[in-house]
Structure formats: C-alpha cells, structure tokens
C-alpha cells in the first residue's frame, strides 16, 4: 500500500492515538501511541514529530519509552508558563507531558518534563502524581483554567461511563473535584476525553464548553455542549441526547492542541478502528492520523453544534486539476473521463438536487472497484459506501455503508472531500457532518465520476485539486 501523501504516518511500526498535542516556540508537537519494535499494538510508548505548519512533519526520536513493565498510554502536554511545577524557571518554561502509566494491575497518571523544546524528556521521580487504585483510569487531558488559576485534569473512568475532574496548583498534587456521566452513548467503554472552549460562529460574548469522549466499540466519539465552572461540567442537553463527532468508522481518540495562537482550536484523530487496527494492509507502517481540523460551534434551530473544517494550511498543497461552475452531470463526466486524476486529492462540490432521488460521487474507481459518496434525498441522508472500495478481506468488520441525517437547505448540499491513498474524509454542509473512513483501493484506481437517479442535479460548483504533500 502506497504511503499517504498528506496524512501523518510513523516511519515504521504501529501508531494509534494522538497524544501530547501542544504548540511552543513556533512548533506544533505531535506525540502518538507507538510500538517502536513492531507493527501491531504493544510496548506502548510515545512517538514524536514536530511541524511549523501542521502539514509538513519532522520525525524525532521516541520521547517516552515503556519501562519497568509500565507502558506509556495516552495523555496530553502543556506549557507550564508560570513554572508552577518548579521544573524550569520564569524565563524558560518547561513542557510537561501528562500520561497514563499502564501495568497489569493498575492505571495511574504520571508526568515527565523537558527543558530543550521536547527533544529529551525526564520522567518525574515522584510518579505517579494521581492514583485511585483502579485498572480502568486513563487518558488525562490537562489545561490551565484561568478563572480559578489552577490546572484541570480530565480523565476517563471507562467502565463507569464517566469523566473525572481533578485540580492542581503544581501538576504534582491533585484534588478530586467532580465526575460527569453516565450520559449520551454508553454502549462501550469511555476513553480519551477532551474539554475546551471553541469559538461560536458570529458571536463574541457567549461562552460554551465542549466535552468530547470516545466510546470504545460503540459510537466512536460523542460530544456534550455545556458549561464548566472550574469544578464541574453541566450538560446543556438531556443526558439521553447523543451528539456524534464523526459518522464514519475510522475517527477515534481525537485530541486538540494546547496553546495554539489566535485562540484557534484544532484537533486531530486516529484514522482506524480497533476491530481491524492490527490487520490493515500497510507496511512498514500501520496506522495514520486524520487531517487536522479546526473546531467551532454554530447555532441551529435545534441548538449549538460542533463544526469541523479542514485547516487552511492544507491549501499550501493544492495543485489545480479541474474547475467548473453551473453545469450538468453528463458534461462533467465526459470531461472527467479524459482527466488524469491522482488518488491524493481534494474535491469541493456544491449541487442542487431538484427532483433527483439520489446523487453519487464515485471515487477511486477502477475495474469492479469504487468508493461511493452520496446523498439519498428520500431519507435525507448522506452516506459513504466502501463495500467495493478495494481490499477488505482482512476483516469481516470492514466493508459497509456509513450514514448520517443531513437536511438540505432549499435542495442545496455542499461536500468537501479529502482522498488519500487509504482514506476518505467527507465534510458536509460546511463541516456540520463528517464521515471518515479507511479504504484500500488497488494502486492506480483514481477515477472519478458522478451518478444521478430519478431526476436532474445541477452542479453549481466543482473544484478538484491534487494534494502533493509530505506527512
């Protein structure tokens, strides 16, 4: 399998959750769950890479290794600007990694620090900094809460379907504040929480918090919108409401960067699924991350909703291939048949349905292969069908169709699609709905065509770029 052009992959071996995402001294740090000695899960450590634009990455040595029977599970990182930990000084703030130490009997929260921009790390000799005697207690997300002038740690209590909140003045000593949950989806273990304040589109005064939590072997990821007062999170909705982050099968363990300039909130997720994470047909690497996505809240009649948009920096990679406006499907298909497509591409399309019952975009087409992105007007659903997308025999959990309700505004739909060698990410109606899936098409199958059932569809805009990157 060809390595992706613009999605992050490790040089070799296994990757899963993104960890320790932090911006410092003009560098984005990206750590990730990593097996440094094999291409399946095991010997969990923190791999490491840095970037100045979130697009081009420099691979660095493994930051935190498994040691003395303790694996380094997921966590976060912060800049200790005021040197509350005492590891640095006011003129040279340390970076602090907060991670779960995993043994056969217990999961605990631990810290490590660096004074050389993340190039070398020292594990705190007083670890663990937080232990509750539990086997299921992990994935700390830590941030500085300005109103209360203290650090907040958000962790998952997976088998209790709860998120736990603790506070600290120095990152070393922690006090339990409250718990949230069960709520929303509880059809799988809760993992990888994140808590942040995204900007609300077209508003400057209202403040809301988003609490994201993943549901292992369940819905994938869900989020809650509410208020956090420095002690507890209060959900705005009823506890039975489920708001999904992504409607595909392969977006998990997303984490947002700390300390990003201009109050941007950007996150990235693991493009994979535990049903087949150890089996996907890639080598010498196994596992990749999504494109980075900028997050906002947007108001709708039913309330605020999380919006995900591809970061602007990805435009650096564009090489224009095709651009038409206000045309019909037959004309476009005729022109696309003559176009030399690249599997690593970005597609923007806006269309008006008219009376058509179904509209489809068939990508990565070839002999008996295609991935179908479509809209079914009869049930008002967007879908991604990967049943014939290429290699899938490695798991009976892989082939399938993933759907989401999407009500069109006056019959108009817009889709923003990112295709790489083994993935598709679809952003519908300006980021309201996202579907992310792996695919494994045969090398060279990069065709593109449109299909309409039961009426006419007018293409208002179609833009296609090749994305030439270095992930």
The CA R_g of the chain, rounded to the nearest whole Å, is 22
**Tens digits of residue pLDDT in 212-258:** 999 998 889 999 999 999 999 999 999 999 999 999 999 999 999 99
Residue 471: is its pLDDT beyond 60? no
User: What residue spans of 286-401 are helical by DSSP H?
Assistant: 329-336
Instruction: Give 322's Cβ-side CA count (13 Å radius).
Output: 21
**Tens digits of residue pLDDT in 429-466:** 999 999 999 999 998 899 999 999 988 888 999 999 99
Token pair for 388: 């014939």
| pTM for this prediction | 0.96
Mean pLDDT (whole number) for 381-394 = 97
Alpha carbon of 248 to those of 232, 269, 402: distances in Å?
Answer: 31, 12, 6
The pLDDT, as a whole number, for residue 457 is 84
For residue 15, the cross-strand partners are 34
Q: How far apart are CA 464 and CA 444, in angstroms?
A: 18
Length of the chain: 471
First to last CA, the chain: 15
Give 210-238 as a 3 state SS string.
EEEEEEECCCEEEEEEEEECCCCEEECCC
Cβ-count burial of 293 within 10 angstroms (0-12 exposed, 13-18 middle, 19+ buried)?
buried
The pLDDT, as a whole number, for residue 91 is 82
The pLDDT, as a whole number, for residue 1 is 66
* 146: Cβ contacts below 8 Å, ≥ 6 apart: none
Q: How far apart are CA 362 and CA 374, in angstroms?
A: 8
Backbone angles phi, psi at 10, to 5 degrees: -75, 155
**Residue 100's closest CA among 23, 193, 14?**
193
Token pair for 436: 């992310």
Q: Are 140 and 171 in contact (CB under 8 A)?
A: no
Residue 354 binned pLDDT confidence (cut-offs 50, 70, 90): confident
CA-angle at 286, arms to 284 and 290, nearest 5°: 130
Q: Are 445 and 389 in contact (CB under 8 A)?
A: no
Question: What's the chain's average pLDDT?
Answer: 95
3-state secondary structure of 22: strand
Q: Would you say the C-alpha torsion 181, 186, 192, 198 has a positive or negative sign?
A: negative
Place of tokens 């959900």: 235
Mean pLDDT (whole number) for 43-48 = 98
Please provide the DSSP assignment of 271-304 as one string.
---TTTTTT-S-SSEE--B---EEEEEEEETTEE
Mean pLDDT (whole number) for 99-115 = 97
Dihedral of the CA atoms 272, 400, 1, 8 (nearest 10)?
-30
**Tens digits of residue pLDDT in 176-198:** 999 999 999 999 999 999 999 99
**Residue 380's closest CA among 406, 414, 358, 354?**
406
The pLDDT, as a whole number, for residue 355 is 84
* Domain parsing of the chain, residue ranges: 13-310, 317-467
**CATH topology for the 317-467 domain:** Jelly Rolls (2.60.120)
Strand pairing category for 150-157 and 162-168: antiparallel
Mean pLDDT (whole number) for 391-407 = 96
The pLDDT, as a whole number, for residue 203 is 87
Residue 469: is its pLDDT beyond 80? no
3-state secondary structure of 317: helix
| pLDDT-above-90 percentage for the chain | 90
Residue 406: is its pLDDT beyond 90? yes
Alpha carbon of 453 to those of 331, 378, 411: distances in Å?
Answer: 16, 11, 15
Q: Which numeric CATH code is attached to 13-310? A: 2.115.10.20
Residue 48: is its pLDDT beyond 70? yes
> If residue 382 lies in a helix (H) or strand (E), which one and from where to where?
strand 381-385
Please provide the DSSP assignment of 412-468 as one string.
EEEEEEEEETTEEEEEETTTTEEEEEE--PPTT--EEEEEEESS--EEEEEEEEEE-
User: For 5-9, 249-253, 349-353, 421-425, which range has the lowest pLDDT when averaged over its residues?
Assistant: 349-353
Residue 93: is its pLDDT beyond 80? yes
Residue 409: is its pLDDT beyond 80? no
Mean pLDDT (whole number) for 122-143 = 98
Asked if 17 is an active-site residue, the reply is yes
* 373: Cβ contacts below 8 Å, ≥ 6 apart: 360, 361, 363, 382, 383, 384, 385, 415, 417, 424, 426, 435
Alpha carbon of 45 to those of 134, 331, 371: distances in Å?
Answer: 21, 52, 35
Mean pLDDT (whole number) for 377-392 = 96
The pLDDT, as a whole number, for residue 470 is 61
Mean pLDDT (whole number) for 257-285 = 97
């Amino acid at each position: 399998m060809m390595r992706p052009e613009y999605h992050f992959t490790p040089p070799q071996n296994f990757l899963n959750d993104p960890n320790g995402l932090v911006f410092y001294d003009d560098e984005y740090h990206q750590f990730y769950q990593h097996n440094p000695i094999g291409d399946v899960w095991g010997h969990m450590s923190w791999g490491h890479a840095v970037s100045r634009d979130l697009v081009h990455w420099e691979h660095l040595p493994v930051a935190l290794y498994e040691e003395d029977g303790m694996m380094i599970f997921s966590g976060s990182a912060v800049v200790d600007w005021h040197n509350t930990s005492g590891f640095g000084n006011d003129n040279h703030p340390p970076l602090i990694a907060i991670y779960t130490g995993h043994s056969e009997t217990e999961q605990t929260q631990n810290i490590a620090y660096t004074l050389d921009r993340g190039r070398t790390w020292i594990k705190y000799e007083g670890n663990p900094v937080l232990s509750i005697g539990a086997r299921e207690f992990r994935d700390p997300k830590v941030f500085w809460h300005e109103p209360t002038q203290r650090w907040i740690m958000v962790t998952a209590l997976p088998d209790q379907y709860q998120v736990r909140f603790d506070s600290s003045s120095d990152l070393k000593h922690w006090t339990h504040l409250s718990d949230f949950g069960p709520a929303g989806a509880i059809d799988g273990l809760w993992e990888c929480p994140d808590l942040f304040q995204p900007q609300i589109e077209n508003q400057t005064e209202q403040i809301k918090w988003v609490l994201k939590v993943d549901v292992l072997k369940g819905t994938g990821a869900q989020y809650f919108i509410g208020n956090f007062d420095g002690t507890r999170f209060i959900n705005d909705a009823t506890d039975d409401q489920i708001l999904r982050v992504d409607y595909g099968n392969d977006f998990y363990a997303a984490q947002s960067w700390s300390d990003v300039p201009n109050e941007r909130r950007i996150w990235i997720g693991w493009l994979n699924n535990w049903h087949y994470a150890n089996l996907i047909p890639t080598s010498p690497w196994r596992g990749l991350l999504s494109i980075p996505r900028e997050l906002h809240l947007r108001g709708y009649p039913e309330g605020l909703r999380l919006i995900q948009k591809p970061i602007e920096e990805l435009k650096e990679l564009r090489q224009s291939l095709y651009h038409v406006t206000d045309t019909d499907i037959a004309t476009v298909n005729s022109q696309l048949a003559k176009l030399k497509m690249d599997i690593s591409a970005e597609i923007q399309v806006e269309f008006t349905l008219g009376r058509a019952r179904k509209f489809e975009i068939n990508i990565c087409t070839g002999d008996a292969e295609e991935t179908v992105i479509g809209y079914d007007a009869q049930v008002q659903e967007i879908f991604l069908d990967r049943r014939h997308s290429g290699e899938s025999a490695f798991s009976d959990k892989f082939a399938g169709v993933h759907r989401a309700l999407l009500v069109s505004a006056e019959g108009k739909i817009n889709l923003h699609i990112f295709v790489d060698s083994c993935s598709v990410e679809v952003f519908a109606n300006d980021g309201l709905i996202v579907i992310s899936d792996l695919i494994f098409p045969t090398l060279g199958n990069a065709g593109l065509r449109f299909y309409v059932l039961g009426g006419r569809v007018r293409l208002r805009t179609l833009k296609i770029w090749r994305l030439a990157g270095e992930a």
